Amino acid sequence: MKNKIVIIDYGSGNVKSLGNMIEALNYSYILSNKKEDILSADKLIFPGQGHFEQAIFNLKKSGLIDTIKQAIENKTDFLGICLGLQILFEKSEEAPNTEGLGIIKGEVKKFQKGKIPQIGWNKIKTTKNNSYLSDDYFYFVNSYYVAPVDENIISSTTNYEIEFCSSIQKDNLIAVQFHPEKSAQAGIEFFKKWLGQVKP
């Protein structure tokens, strides 16, 4: 399959809207937890929804942690969405006793002000370290946000009582706190660029 797109099946996360977005752009995808599918993917997506601890537990149970790390090291294009961003980090206040994947140095912190979780549309402000996103409104559902040690990997920030990192980009890896698959035209434009339908 040309441009093989694999959505990682880790036993959680609603992939229906994500699948609909991909198919609306005339691409096909497979939902899989098989090592061979993940390692042969051209584009790999970790969809986000659920609890940090449960996600890590499910990944360990499926034996996928090393597989995901290997795919990223192999320069497979990787997209993490919401929880798929957070699990890349070393630790999270949501699950203090659970180690994250540690692919990105830093931690996941809980909002201390405002209505928690943040639910709804919010604007992102892109940085110079950005290839795929526009300064536009995207749809968020999050109680936590990431705090990377290396601020140079931040590709956008958003204000919700505080200015927080809403996406990161590093080499073949991009991960976003918002849900581009639920973000109407802004999300469509992002996926067109990331999937290679239009030039970033």
* Active site residue ranges: 82, 179, 181
Residues with Cβ within 8 Å of 96's Cβ and at least 6 positions away in sequence, in order, are none
Nearest to 46 by CA among 73, 71, 75: 71
Phi-psi region of 57 (alpha: psi -120 to 50; beta: other; left: phi over 0): alpha
Return the exposure string of 171-183: e unless at least 16 CB atoms fall within 10 Å of the residue's CB, then b. eebbbbbbbbbbb
Q: Are 129 and 154 in contact (CB under 8 A)?
A: yes
Q: How many CB atoms lie within 10 A of CB 59?
A: 22
